[in-house]
Chain A
């Protein structure tokens, strides 16, 4: 159960891991004993799937759910607003431009 030192796996049961420095696409990493290749560049503090995640499944970080997958996510894929949504209140981004009261 080794994890690359450029990666933070905050809990063994998490399905996302954190880049502790900027990691380019194509980086090979060992996360929790499994090897994966980053599909996209991942910036410091950002996260990527370290296990296969099915559409609709909860995404876990710090052993706590941070929302649900909006599509199937393969290990090594960048996880962010394009494939993860809140189970409480949606996140406003400039691109989506979601309107809100007021």
Chain B
């Protein structure tokens, strides 16, 4: 593979970490400062200035950790915090953390600045000056083993688990061979998979933790009375949460599982990690993640430089801070929404009106630990459409695209200006000792 030895030109941060983007964040510390942030960022929206924030007025340890990790993310070059002035968020502590990282940082308090108009003017002036300052950000060669990649599925249908998810899992396998850190997520969509997953754990104790994490998700969603499956998933042919889980699980590829992390924890080294995003303790603040973007924000807070996002129904989202690569599972959806999709994994099913070869999907099923018995009646290859691709083909395509995006190529959602972001209340307990085995 040509890109095997490729290096990435990263942005070097003072702590030695490297990013693939040089974003300026404008961060509101309560919803009341959101509009002011949007107005500050608007003229610079195509210059890598993104808005994130926490809407709540009450303090929350998880939200503070999330904001701190996001503001100090390797893709972030500078941070402007905007406070209304009376909210509980500990703005000074967050500002100190960002300043300590060596990044340009500033805090504007709307009530002290004298209101909306003055804060916007002050904020825009700071952004203009900081954009110039960031032009001098040092660049450094970045190896693949310095990359952190997260994966998520959204707007899934029955093709997601047959094409895009196994192909992203294959890309994960390629990355992990090179010792990159890869994170898969959403324990609520692994319900039914816990015992298969435990067999892949680096240690038996970690296997038990994986089973416990999924059991926690089952209890939590059970209390909510609603599984992580939507009417759109059902229209797309997914009938039950178990069936959705089978497909979602394929995103993890076939590597050993090296550990469990929680939102805001960085993978300690290369390998495959499960992000346990379901809050600990009694359900308190509603659904664990109210939508896909809440999950993306958590994957980024764990250090993800970029995200692989599979969709069958056709999600259009991107994200603030880290680029999102959209892998479309369904060939019909790809044909309808090509402008939003980076990879057409549905080619694995594509029959071009003719008969398909089943070879590739058989491989897809194997990535779930099964041996499928589907056999093509004829020589599948000869009747395949010219677009047709194998699981390996699409896995390589995704891997190569990861390297190009890391080197600055814009993803479709980036080019379209998608910068979705959401952060809500949660509570977590610290990781147990078996979650990150040293030997893994």
CA distance A62 to B377 in the complex (A): 20
CA distance A46 to B242 in the complex (A): 15
Does A28 sit within 8 A of B, measured CB to CB? no
In the bound complex, residues from chain B placing their C-beta under 8 Å from that of A46 are: 158, 237
In the bound complex, residues from chain A placing their C-beta under 8 Å from that of B368 are: 62, 64
Does B100 sit within 8 A of A, measured CB to CB? no
Whole-angstrom distance from the CB of B142 to the nearest CB of chain A?
37
* Contact residues of A: prevailing secondary structure: loop
Query: For window 45-68 of chain A, which residues contact chain B by CB distance below 8 Å?
Result: 45-47, 61-67
| A20 and B358 form a contact (CB under 8 A) | yes
Does B370 sit within 8 A of A, measured CB to CB? yes
In the bound complex, residues from chain A placing their C-beta under 8 Å from that of B185 are: none
CA distance A88 to B192 in the complex (A): 8
CA distance A100 to B283 in the complex (A): 14
CA distance A92 to B225 in the complex (A): 10
In the bound complex, residues from chain A placing their C-beta under 8 Å from that of B226 are: 89, 92, 100-101
CA distance A44 to B158 in the complex (A): 8
| B241 and A88 form a contact (CB under 8 A) | yes
Which of A20, A21, A89 has a CB less than 8 Å from the CB of B222? A89
Does B440 sit within 8 A of A, measured CB to CB? no
| B374 and A45 form a contact (CB under 8 A) | no
In the bound complex, residues from chain B placing their C-beta under 8 Å from that of A45 are: 157-159, 162, 236-237, 312, 330, 349
Given contacts A45-B237, A61-B246, A86-B240, contact A20 B375 (CB under 8 A): no
In the bound complex, residues from chain A placing their C-beta under 8 Å from that of B3 are: none
Whole-angstrom distance from the CB of B215 to the nearest CB of chain A?
11
Does A8 sit within 8 A of B, measured CB to CB? yes
Which of A5, A6, A18, A81 has a CB less than 8 Å from the CB of B162? A18
CA distance A62 to B312 in the complex (A): 19
| B373 and A65 form a contact (CB under 8 A) | no
In the bound complex, residues from chain A placing their C-beta under 8 Å from that of B365 are: 10-11, 62
Q: How many of chain B's residues have a CB under 8 angstroms from any CB in A?
A: 53
Does B7 sit within 8 A of A, measured CB to CB? no
Whole-angstrom distance from the CB of A76 to the nearest CB of chain B?
17
CA distance A14 to B122 in the complex (A): 64
**Residue on A nearest B286 in the bound complex, by CB:** A102
In the bound complex, residues from chain A placing their C-beta under 8 Å from that of B162 are: 8, 18, 45
Does B223 sit within 8 A of A, measured CB to CB? yes
Query: For window 362-376 of chain B, which residues contact chain A by CB distance below 8 Å?
Result: 365, 368, 370-376
* Contact residues of B: prevailing secondary structure: loop
Contact with A along B80-96 (1 / 0, CB 8 A): 00000000000000000
In the bound complex, residues from chain B placing their C-beta under 8 Å from that of A43 are: 237
**Residue on B nearest A99 in the bound complex, by CB:** B225
In the bound complex, residues from chain B placing their C-beta under 8 Å from that of A1 are: 373, 375
| B242 and A67 form a contact (CB under 8 A) | yes
Does A38 sit within 8 A of B, measured CB to CB? no
Does B169 sit within 8 A of A, measured CB to CB? no
CA distance A92 to B224 in the complex (A): 12
In the bound complex, residues from chain B placing their C-beta under 8 Å from that of A88 are: 191-192, 218, 222, 227, 240-242
Whole-angstrom distance from the CB of A39 to the nearest CB of chain B?
16
| A8 and B158 form a contact (CB under 8 A) | no
Given contacts A8-B361, A84-B239, A92-B230, contact A102 B224 (CB under 8 A): yes
**Residue on A nearest B188 in the bound complex, by CB:** A89
Whole-angstrom distance from the CB of B186 to the nearest CB of chain A?
14
In the bound complex, residues from chain B placing their C-beta under 8 Å from that of A90 are: 227
Does A85 sit within 8 A of B, measured CB to CB? yes
Does A75 sit within 8 A of B, measured CB to CB? no
Given contacts A21-B356, A67-B239, A102-B224, contact A9 B373 (CB under 8 A): yes
Does A79 sit within 8 A of B, measured CB to CB? yes
Whole-angstrom distance from the CB of A2 to the nearest CB of chain B?
6
CA distance A46 to B235 in the complex (A): 9
Q: Quick one: which of B221, B237, B239, B356 has the most chain A CB within 10 A? A: B239
Chain B residues in the interface with A (C-beta under 8 A): 157-159, 162, 191-192, 196, 218, 221-227, 229-231, 234, 236-237, 239-243, 246, 286-287, 312, 330-332, 349, 351, 355-358, 361, 365, 368, 370-378, 380, 383
Known: A44-B330, A89-B191, A92-B229. 18 other contacts (CB 8 A): A6-B355, A9-B373, A9-B374, A10-B365, A12-B373, A18-B158, A20-B349, A20-B358, A44-B349, A45-B236, A47-B237, A62-B368, A63-B370, A64-B242, A88-B241, A89-B226, A89-B227, A102-B286
Interchain residue pairs A-B with the least CB separation, the first 7: A45-B158, A89-B227, A46-B237, A86-B240, A100-B225, A66-B243, A45-B159
19 of the cross-chain contacts (CB-CB < 8 Å) are A3-B358, A8-B374, A10-B374, A11-B373, A44-B349, A45-B157, A45-B312, A46-B237, A47-B158, A62-B365, A64-B368, A66-B242, A67-B240, A80-B234, A87-B242, A88-B191, A88-B241, A99-B225, A101-B224
Chain A residues in the interface with B (C-beta under 8 A): 1-12, 18, 20-21, 30, 32, 43-47, 61-67, 79-81, 84-94, 99-102
